[in-house]
Amino acid sequence: MDKMKVSYEAMLGLAAEMTLDEAVLKFRSDRLYQAIDKALASGDKDTFRRLTDELKALNV
């Protein structure tokens, strides 16, 4: 019974970590999209390219 409890707790911990990772990734992606839109609107090509490269790396 103790072995099952340890396994269950490990699985819960893993699920919580995966959920947190997904939330952080979504938050960062949303921020990058906002910054990309701003750079595009202002015509800042260098910032646009840097941010889109960062977004691509994030989605790998």
> CA-CA distance, 51 to 41, in Å (whole number)?
14
pLDDT of residue 1: 57
pLDDT of residue 52: 97
Per-residue pLDDT tens over the stretch 13-58: 999 999 999 999 999 999 999 999 999 999 999 999 999 999 999 9
Q: Full-prediction pTM beyond 0.85? A: no
> CA-CA distance, 31 to 37, in Å (whole number)?
10
Amino acid making up residue 31 = R
> CA-CA distance, 21 to 37, in Å (whole number)?
24
Amino acid making up residue 4 = M
pLDDT of residue 2: 80
* Lookup: tokens for 8: 């269950």
Inter-residue contact 28 to 55 (CB < 8 Å)? no
pLDDT of residue 59: 84
